[in-house]
Amino acid sequence: MNEIYVALDFPTWQEAKQFLDEHHLDGVPVKVGMELFYREGNFVIEQLQRHNHPIFLDLKLHDIPTTVERAMRNIAKLDVDFVNVHASGGSEMMNRAKEGLLSGGSKKTKLLAVTILTSFSEEAMQKELNIEMPLEAQVVHLASLAMVNGADGVVCSVHEVERIKAVCGKQFITMTPGIRLSAGEEHDQKRIATPKLARQLGTDYIVIGRSITRSENPLQAYERALEEFKNGI
């Protein structure tokens, strides 16, 4: 299994397709976020599945439990590999999200819960969200809450993976964005890492966006990331 998801942060399917076709990224796992999904809807998922792309549907749902359950019932029919909610939506919301996936008939979609966005620093979390505990402790708390309420794993930074695995078990999935091929590329992320460090810290899946999509040679960048993540080279 290929554990690297390329973030398709494009405004239209036409642009995403052109990128994948031009750079021969056939069948690579991809992350579809709000920008692309809200423009193209189910169509983009169907097109990607026709070309054998595993899909992480990154919608970060956060609403009252009934609404999230009903949304997940619809998403279940898309049969993507991963979909996510915000863990801060609480126990009942996450529970109902899982119920929606199951009642919607999905046989493979795994539910992930977003802990603290990788764009947040500890200082911002404490000042803006008024959460006084250390960032890692809050992430682990949300991961534990997600695990007991039906989530298959979490979205977190690589820096929290070891602690999450220690508390929730190695089988609990960690999907980690904020991955850069160059240590100097932060963009709008704060808690970042390289593919090599992500592997060393034991994460299961990584998401890479601009380091690949804005590379002069995206296929080469993707292959470099694979080599680094799988073999630490």
Q: Which residues are known catalytic residues?
A: 60
Q: Within 13 Å, how many C-alpha atoms sit on residue 41's CB side? A: 2
Q: Indicate the DSSP class of residue 109.
A: P
The token duo for 59 is: 């919608």
Nearest to 116 by CA among 95, 147, 137: 137
Contacts of 1 (CB under 8 A, 6+ apart): none
First to last CA, the chain: 19
Angle at CA of residue 217, ends 213 and 222, nearest 5°: 65
| DSSP H stretches of helix in 3-153 | 13-22, 34-40, 42-50, 65-76, 91-103, 122-128, 135-148
Contacts of 96 (CB under 8 A, 6+ apart): 65, 66, 68, 69, 72
Strand partners, 113: 85, 154
